[in-house]
Amino acid sequence: MQSYTIGQAARLLGVSPDTARRWADAGRVATHRDEGGRRLINGRDLAAFSVEVGHGAHAEDGEPYTSARNAFPGIVTAVKLGDVAAQVEIQAGPHRLVSLLTREAVEELGLEVGMQATARVKSTSVHIDRT
């Protein structure tokens, strides 16, 4: 059975290693130690926990409820404003996402280069949530 380090589990869960560590310390997910003393999470336990986290994530972390499930949290790397339209680029890990939206939406969200944002992909549209 494959096991995952706290860091690997955090990446798979979409949280920081500190958050994954706190969850393990609180007993939300079981860990064991390898011969080198590293904390590991059994793959089956992590799979079950990821489903649990996925079902309760929006309620506990303050994220808005949305029907878009493909979320890419990242950092805004470019904002190009036109008279009516705008283009926003987000780097989310290895993924570069570009969204075309109204200038008004960009201004309402206060999007600027360097701030955290989440691109949500649904069908052929990319939605931007300010985080």
User: How many CA within 13 A on the CB side of residue 73?
Assistant: 9
Distance CA 54, CA 56 (A): 6
Residue 32 in this model has a pLDDT that exceeds 90: yes
pLDDT in tens, 38-51: 999 998 898 888 87
Give the model's pLDDT for residue 59: 45
Distance CA 52, CA 106 (A): 33
Q: What is the DSSP string of 72-113?
A: EEEEEEEEEE-SSEEEEEEEETTEEEEEEEEHHHHHHHT--T
Cβ partners under 8 Å of residue 102, min gap 6: 84, 85, 86
Give the model's pLDDT for residue 129: 82
Burial profile 35-65: b = 16 or more Cβ within 10 angstroms, e = fewer = eeeebbbbeebbeebeeebeeeeeeeeeeee
pLDDT tier, 67 (very low <50, low <70, confident <90, very high otherwise): low
Number of alpha helices (DSSP H) and beta strands (DSSP E) in the chain: 4, 8
pLDDT tier, 72 (very low <50, low <70, confident <90, very high otherwise): confident
Q: What is the pTM of this model?
A: 0.49
Q: Are 78 and 88 in contact (CB under 8 A)?
A: yes
